Amino acid sequence: MTDEPLIYDLSSPGRRGVRAPLPQFEPVDPTEALPTSELRTDLPLPEASEIDVMRHFLRLSHKNHSVDTAMYPLGSCTMKYNPKVNEVTARTPGLADIHPCQPPATAQGALELIYELEALLASITGFPAVSTQPAAGSQGELCGLLSILAWHQSRGEARTQVLVPDSAHGTNPATGTMSGLEVISLPTADDGGIDLQNLKERLGPGAAAIMLTLPSTLGLFERRILEVVELVHAAGAQVYCDGANMNAMLGRVRPADLGIDVMHLNLHKTFSTPHGGGGPGAGALAVQAHLEPFLPGPRVVRNGEVFELADPPPTSIGRVHSHLGNFGNLVRAYTYIRSLGAEGLREAADDAVLNANYLRASLSDDYDLPYDRICMHEVVLAGTRQRRLGVRTLDIAKRLIDYGIHPPTIYFPIIVDEALMIEPTETESRESLDNFIDVMRRIAREAESDPDKLHDAPVNAPVRRLDEVTANRRPNVRRVPEGGD
Amino acid sequence: MSYAPNTDADRAAMLRTVGVESIDDLFVDIPVQHRDPTLDLPPALPETDVIRHLAELGARNATSSDLPSFLGAGFYRHFVPALVDQQLLRSEWYTAYTPYQPEMAQGTLQAMYEFQSLVCDLTGMDVSNASLYDGASALAEAVLLCRGLTRRPRVVIADTVHPAYRDVAATYVSALDVDLHVVSAACRDATSVRPDLQPLVNAIDDQTSCVVIQRPDFLGMVVDPDPVIQAAREHGARVVVVVGDPVSLGLLVPLGDLGADIVVGELRSLAGPPAYGGPGAGMFAVRSELIRRVPGRIAGRTMDLDGKNAFVLTLQTREQHIRRERATSNITTNQALVTLGATISLCALGRRGLREIAEQSLTAAHRAAEALAGAGAVIASDAPYVNEFAVHAPGGAAARLERLRKEGNVLAGIDLGCVSPTFDDLILVAATELTTADDVEALASAWAQTQ
């Protein structure tokens, strides 16, 4: 594939793209309205024709792999099919062309949708209260920890630590720091679960919460979850669940029933709102009743047949979004849940878990399996056997690109050497999984017979491996104008 | 129905490979007493029915076609060229994720690099990230950056910064040792309002990590920020500027030239309709010396093994997946698709198009103000403005807005009581290049009718 020039290189002085609307009024000269000193003299934007802009971005799009192209088994990201009907409903004029400041009386349908979505998510997770305000999972984490801290404070307690397993997503410790907490790392036990003895030792009077991922990033359900919850509660701390992996649990278990206090959901994972090349996501937060007074606001409430926006109570942690969150994605998630119903959601979890176990069983002869037990929606393999042949997990990943498959998440969780974290999702067919298995086996053979094929990969992608060292050392993060800095 | 393609025969064969008898056997790690709850959900709807149901919900909202709208305050109804949504519906864009594997994501990465370049061009800053969630969280992250940089506890923030942004910044720092000090930056007389930066200047001291102002400010006013910037320099504080309407950047002096250290703002208006306030896209641009403290993703240009131009996520050691509790932020997923829309929109509008829609917005607002004045209104803004201004509403903004809607069938603006209780007799009116002469006539006659 050839280089695509920057849009700036397609620019030519005086060339026009789209036309502005016809004037509706006698023009006001900006120099009459504003002091000349406030007006810019130069606007260094590209000047390209509409067709050039269209072709430029179309050609760029061709350089992307996507779920609609082929399998994308990126662990912990739930790259499932994004139903097209969701894009239709999100573009309904009455749900798209509405302004966040219009009075609630003129946005009853939007408020009802938020209210109903929160109720659906409450049913699915078992928590009595849900806020769909957080814009993504990480912001949900921040709201969750701040709510827990506010709850402790309401009881006259100032707790300063958060316990985070060493297998956790990086967002968990980062959120701990943003919440002003000291992050205490918990080692993982030999069976991939939480080490209860160790937990007991670290659960001191300063512990505000534990953040655990369920199923864990090893793709395993925490078998000692009830004991963990009991220990944490006995120490006066709260249990936060990172719900990035909720796809494994739909209709099989409600996290609230396990005694968990607060959980965020990634609507762009479990509930199929598209990943958008890196967002927008949406990160609903679900809590037990004792934490509801602390949820971010404003919240949608029902008053008879009318939906209203209630200001947050004084106990609330406050706002985390300029309005009511990523509403367009709430429309998509609502559409998805209404399309599937209870049975469909459970079927999604069942097939997601079956697909992951099918990969586990089919690939364990060719790759090391650090935790050899039934997994949930994802399986973590290790390229340790291949490393002895001089091939790294990175090489395996890059070779997958040559076969037209997006690599799994690699080198994560960080506690697994040469990790390959594979999440097929429920929307891959058996044939698609068989193709993946076949390719992974072929790569294992290549590692034995022709390791350089892996070292050189990819050779069939738009570019070969990149010089990331120079990119970091001398960052070039914008096009520098001619004659400019 | 779950969009899952496997048949029962597939499942049976796969279960044999796994070595279990039933799917239930895969869930045995869940405590038995909590397994298999009944979910209380409405029945599944086929595509046709779910579309109809959502259309019914949509029909209960008033769109800008139903009611002429002069609502702004961060979300403006701007012209978004048709090719933008055609591109955003391409699977290669919207069904991909964060470009962790750059060889398979050169499209997303180059688009990010072009977005960053456009933001730098528009703002006059050196470095832009690939976006944060929205304007509000971008401000919160800017405040956190300055705190980490200066190790000073105090933040001075003008009350003419978007009130919801101020609230979000307060939430983000609530568990940290930060003193968020909101200072008046506009003064009143009976019917008018004008900028007054002196209290802001006075509030900046040697413990101030940053001062936050908005431009155009939340009331739409454009004021020379130089006194504030000079005071900040004297005390070693950083200057954070929130952009009101991003289209105003096509007209106003770049903020980097004015001395901003960090520029944040909301870019949704460039990418699509307001969507009830989200998903937006938070702009975050800084001077080059701050690059290693920036939160979120940044795309960088590099080369592949063959020396071919290529793009990659760069400076990742700032980020949570590498640095964990020492990361610059916890953000992971950002608003890539919205920023792609803004990028394509800016490219299609180009140098002249952006300038034209900025000028048309300015024209529409000034003509709307004239029409309102002709209908007996007192224009309260006693300062230059681009496309948003305040009108005096004797007897209170809230009551007048309700009458304007119910009796005049127009969404005339926003109650400025949200900025300060002393502003609750002011209405914030915004216009853009999509505001028609009919809309302005409707506004003026509604005003006259509700005197």
ipTM at complex level: 0.98
The answer as to whether B441 is a domain residue is no
Query: In the prediction, which pLDDT does B318 show?
Result: 85
Q: CATH no. for residue B239? A: 3.40.640.10
Q: Quick check: bond before A21 cis, omega within 30?
A: no
Report which secondary-structure segment, H or E, holds B180: strand B179-183
Q: Do A321 and B278 touch (CB under 8 A)?
A: yes
Residue with tokens 């300038």: B355
Q: Tell me which residue in B53, B304, B336 faces A466 most closely, judged by beta carbons.
A: B304
Task: Return the residue of B nearest to A88 by Cα.
Answer: B51
Q: Do B71 and A102 touch (CB under 8 A)?
A: yes
Q: Do B272 and A96 touch (CB under 8 A)?
A: yes
Low-confidence stretches of chain B (pLDDT < 50) are: none
Interface of A with B in 286-305 (CB under 8 A): 296
The answer as to whether B132 is a domain residue is yes
Nearest Cα neighbor of B79 from B353, B281, B266 is: B353
Please check whether residue B427 is in contact with residue B408, taking contact to mean a CB–CB distance below 8 angstroms: no
Task: Return the residue of A nearest to B5 by Cα.
Answer: A429
The answer as to whether B317 is a domain residue is yes
Rounded to 5°, angle at Cα A11 from A8 and A15? 150
Low-confidence stretches of chain A (pLDDT < 70) are: 482-485
Q: State the pTM of this model.
A: 0.98
The answer as to whether B366 is a domain residue is no
Please list the helix, strand and coil fractions of chain B in percent, rounded to the nearest 5, in that order.
45, 15, 35
Interface of A with B in 393-412 (CB under 8 A): 397-398, 401, 406-407, 409, 412
Query: In the prediction, which pLDDT does B317 show?
Result: 84
Three-class secondary structure assignment of chain A: CCCCCCHHHHCCCCCCCCCCCCCCCCCCCHHHHCCHHHECCCCCCCCCCHHHHHHHHHHHHCCECCCCCCCCCECCCCCCCCCHHHHHHHCCHHHHCCCCCCCHHHEHHHHHHHHHHHHHHHHHHCCCEEECCCCCHHHHHHHHHHHHHHHHHHCCCCCCEEEEECCCCCHHHHHHHHCCCEEEEECECCCCCECHHHHHHHCCCCEEEEEEECCCCCCCCCCCHHHHHHHHHHCCCEEEEEECCHHHCCCCCCHHHHCCCEEEECCCCCCCCCCCCCCCCCCCEEECHHHHHHCCCCEEEEECCEEEEECCCCCCCCCCCCCCCCHHHHHHHHHHHHHHHHHHHHHHHHHHHHHHHHHHHHHCCCCECCCCCCCCCCEEEECHHHHCCCCCHHHHHHHHHHCCCCCCEECCCCCCCCEEEECCCCCCCHHHHHHHHHHHHHHHHHHHHCHHHHHHCCCCCCCCCECHHHHHHCCCCCCCCCCCC
The answer as to whether B282 is a domain residue is yes
The answer as to whether B163 is a domain residue is yes
The answer as to whether B371 is a domain residue is no
Rounded to 5°, angle at Cα A78 from A440 and A264? 145
Q: Do A28 and B362 touch (CB under 8 A)?
A: yes
Task: Return the residue of B nearest to A412 by Cα.
Answer: B321
Which domains are assigned to chain A?
7-57 (no CATH), 85-339 (3.40.640.10), 342-470 (3.90.1150.10)
pLDDT in tens, A267-319: 999 999 999 999 999 999 999 999 999 999 999 999 999 999 999 899 999 99
Residues of B in contact with A479 (CB under 8 A): 113-114, 117
Rg (CA), chain B: 25
What backbone phi and psi angles, to 5 degrees, belong to A315? -75, -20
Expressed as residue numbers, the domain containing B250 is 82-345
CA distances from B243 to A26, B252, B357 (A): 27, 11, 17
Residues of B in contact with A8 (CB under 8 A): 114, 117
Q: Do A426 and B305 touch (CB under 8 A)?
A: no
Q: Per the structure, how many domains does chain B have? A: 1
Q: Tell me which residue in A11, A87, A426 faces B2 most closely, judged by beta carbons.
A: A426
Classify B293 in phi/psi space as left (phi over 0), alpha (psi -120 to 50) or beta: alpha
Q: Tell me which residue in A21, A96, A112 faces B360 most closely, judged by beta carbons.
A: A21
Task: Return the residue of B nearest to A121 by Cα.
Answer: B41
Query: In the prediction, which pLDDT does B322 show?
Result: 83
